[in-house]
Amino acid sequence: MTRRDDTWRARFPALAMLPEAERGLLAERTVPMALPAGTTVFEPHQACGSFLFVRSGQVRVYQLDQDGREIVLYRLGPGSICILTTLALLAGDRYGAFAVTETPVDAAALPGRSFDDLLGRSPRFRSFVFAAHAERMVDLMRVIRSVAFESIESRLAARLLTLAADTRALSITHQQLAAEIGSAREVVSRHLKSFERRGWVSLARNRIEVKNAASLREASGSSGA
């Protein structure tokens, strides 16, 4: 992706609705970024300098509690923008969480001043930013609601089903799984052992296989497939 290459916008259909001059401005001012897996994109107290459009790959955004335990807030995939970046730019504030690439990431960065310029001059760009912001807020509120009101068993069962997806198996440590649901490793390990005794999962080193998805769905409180 060259500096003037705007093909990445295909991941963001709403941007196709921008007037030609604004599309040109976006293409001219965005800077390509190729980030290897394991790259820290931002961290707490870091100033925010640009608005990031993720074209491909995946970024994990997470927070640490006072004991150093991780909780995953959300993930950014193709076509995503980051709510924390939007908030930091709008408020002139610094980041309050961490973001790390889980896979190689291809992205485009719009400098903060250009972001402000487009936001001020373009109703369509504003609509795009705030619609994406609202969508990401729904994800964040889901995490907050889950941690605040749902049991560990329910959260763990739901997350196992989501992560295993159609494969019915996943490679993950108990520590990583604890971060996914905002709990402690010891608590997750204890519940996983309980799941195994009930025949819901099979445990091996860094691997969990779903054996009884129906029971996990019932425990998660979901009636979906």
Per-residue pLDDT averaged across 58-80, rounded? 86
Task: Report which DSSP code applies to 27.
Answer: H
- Percent of the chain past pLDDT 90, that is, above it, reads 45
Per-residue pLDDT tens over the stretch 107-152: 999 999 999 999 998 999 999 998 888 887 887 787 777 777 788 8
Per-residue pLDDT tens over the stretch 206-215: 899 999 989 9
How much is the pLDDT for 225?
Answer: 36
Domains (range + CATH), the chain: 3-147 (2.60.120.10), 150-219 (1.10.10.10)
* Helical (H) or strand (E) element with 207: strand 207-210
How much is the pLDDT for 7?
Answer: 64
Per-residue pLDDT averaged across 86-115, rounded? 92
How much is the pLDDT for 6?
Answer: 59
Contact 65, 55 (CB under 8 A): no
Output the DSSP codes for 109-124.
EEEHHHHHHHHHH-HH
How much is the pLDDT for 54?
Answer: 92
